[in-house]
Chains A and B, each alone.
Chain A
């Protein structure tokens, strides 16, 4: 502290003429993005996602010739959608992988958002600066979403580019729309898990606890929830042979709706419909409904109408979690 004495003159002259354009929110987002990108966990997750993407792209490219030459397939003309969805059974397609890896990505990016700052003693320092509290959680959320969006859009463009070079096929504008809405839904899906893990990071003091809580919810919905629903429904569905057709449809709908409480189910419903234009209903259809239907792909708008409830559900769940994090964080006492 040798020269502290000579310093104060410079310190307190009030020349605040040079105010900046970038507000504290942008500064925080920039810092968070930099932090995430430099962190090891992001590099590991990036490697994981890119590897599964390359793997499923490799498999689908190997089978693309067979897939587009099947005459009965109404989706046969959409080469790029096929690239994302076909597989020879050795590996699930990319959107199924994403159903599984998306939560991991979201949880990993958000589980220590607030509590690590608190345990490092940086939270109180940060809150002593002229910064709105909500800016902090918003910055954490937005920075992770920026990274995820960039990642997914880059992957989609890589896929399109690779497809162009290898197949040389023409790309329908509808395919671009469908692929980008698939990307958009994937981002929302990861955003849901991200906001859930941010809630946990505010609620739990220990980073390990919040990580385990996040992973626990994820495992519950992907592994146990379908089992629990099936077991519960078995108890009050009568014998198969006794069911009339309307009853069977009713029970089927009930099971599906219960399963749709899981975000992964919403995501898989939404992505299948968007990536396979011939999917026209997510539930069972009766023969009467099928009668007269031409086996052709649905227009984009119709597909979107089919998945609209799923997309709204995902968005609502994301916003709900985010509202919870606001509620928990805004009036909390911050101590080091």
Chain B
């Protein structure tokens, strides 16, 4: 990848004998949305902290926007918006005062900061609560405010640690749509860590499965499923009106179709694992045998399956 926005080279962080992040290499290009997935305690947050210079790596380098985040964190922080997993605000200040304060810390003039904060507050749907103290905010409201806070400095890169925690489903949808839009139209680079696999799946271009301090797998959905389900990357479910007879006389003939690997029959559903996409051949086979096909379902491997398969294997 040429000129990656986030470039981690052999990043390692040890806490005593524990290697929280172990030789992490990662390159994220401009405009990309990268999803960092992993179980609790995998070292995701530690990796993110090192990208912002909030903790020092034991060895390795974290380059963000071409700058070393450890030795030169201020210009990095000017370009990166970071939302921690538990956002906190000054309870004695109102929501908009909190936003304006962040804006001013980024060198934005008071009037401009006020204007941007008002726009953002309306946009995240907290326009009515603008002058309320943040101590009365619910977790989801704080999370939204956290997003506004990230955006007020108009960053080039945003790093979101568990961003959808505590937001209602409609909010999550809009939140993810916004991230997608920002990335597409403004070339914003996004790194988000999450446990919610299907949410991440909707929005990310690439994923990394991060466990025990190491990047175990990396790539887009297609390559990941190809790697993990190398033997039979495709799977077709054929649903009949009636139950299959036991044993089924055509089983051997079906498996003789080029590409078909494995057949599982359960009541009226036949699951055929195959090495290439031979769905039309299979359907034709069932039709010529005079069976009443009521449904054909080509199974796609989602992140859930990939994640599960990965941790099953290890």
Contacts and interface: CB of A to CB of B under 8 A. Distances in A.
Interface string A32-45: 00010011000000
Nearest to B79: A130
Nearest to A11: B151
Given A4-B174, A11-B154, A128-B77, A38 B92 contact: yes
B49 A8 contact: no
A121 B84 contact: yes
Contacts of A65: none
Contact of B182 (A8, A121, A128, A331): A8
Interface string A66-108: 0000000000000000000000000000000000000000000
A31 interface: yes
B92 A5 contact: no
Interface stretch (A20-28, A159-167, A200-208): A20-28
B90 A24 contact: no
Interface in A103-120: 120
A130 B78 contact: yes
A35 B107 contact: no
Interface string A1-17: 11111111111111010
A334 B188 CA distance: 26
B108 A8 contact: no
Contact of A336 (B78, B86, B104, B188): B86
Interface string B52-72: 101110000000000000000
Contact of B90 (A3, A122, A132): A122
Nearest to A132: B74
Interface in B151-191: 151, 153-154, 170-171, 174-175, 177-178, 181-182, 185-186, 188
B122 interface: yes
A128 B188 contact: no
A127 interface: yes
B75 interface: yes
A58 to B, nearest CB: 35
A74 to B, nearest CB: 52
B3 interface: no
Given A11-B182, A128-B84, A5 B56 contact: no
A124 B105 contact: no
B119 A130 contact: no
Contacts of B153: 129
A16 B124 CA distance: 23
B119 A4 contact: no
B36 to A, nearest CB: 17
B154 A12 contact: yes
Nearest to A1: B174
A286 to B, nearest CB: 59
A39 B177 CA distance: 41
A124 B82 CA distance: 9
B149 interface: yes
A7 B182 CA distance: 10
B109 A20 contact: yes
Contacts of A122: 88-90
B120 A7 contact: yes
Given A1-B124, A8-B182, A129 B112 contact: no
Interface in B101-154: 101-102, 104-110, 112, 116, 119-120, 122-125, 144, 146, 149, 151, 153-154
Contacts of A239: none
A41 to B, nearest CB: 12
B237 interface: no
B194 interface: no
Contacts of A18: 108-109, 112
Contact of B88 (A10, A35, A121, A131): A121
B231 interface: no
A301 interface: no
Given A4-B178, A12-B154, A31-B101, A120 B90 contact: yes
A234 interface: no
Interface in A39-60: 39
A5 B78 contact: no
A65 B48 CA distance: 71
A13 B156 CA distance: 11
A130 B74 contact: yes
B114 to A, nearest CB: 12
Given A19-B107, A128-B54, A7 B101 contact: no
A9 B185 CA distance: 9
Contact of A3 (B82, B86, B123, B154): B123
Contacts of B122: 3
A28 B108 contact: no
Interface of B: 45, 49, 52, 54-56, 74-75, 77-78, 80-82, 84-92, 101-102, 104-110, 112, 116, 119-120, 122-125, 144, 146, 149, 151, 153-154, 170-171, 174-175, 177-178, 181-182, 185-186, 188
> Which 9 interchain pairs have the tightest Cβ spacing?
A121-B88, A7-B123, A333-B55, A12-B186, A1-B174, A128-B82, A130-B78, A120-B88, A130-B77
Given A120-B90, A334-B55, 8 more contacts: A5-B181, A6-B123, A18-B108, A20-B108, A27-B101, A129-B102, A331-B56, A333-B49
30 contacts: A1-B123, A1-B144, A2-B174, A3-B125, A4-B174, A9-B185, A10-B119, A11-B154, A12-B186, A14-B154, A18-B112, A19-B107, A19-B109, A20-B109, A24-B106, A24-B107, A27-B101, A31-B101, A35-B90, A39-B92, A120-B91, A124-B84, A125-B146, A126-B105, A128-B77, A128-B80, A131-B77, A334-B49, A336-B84, A336-B85
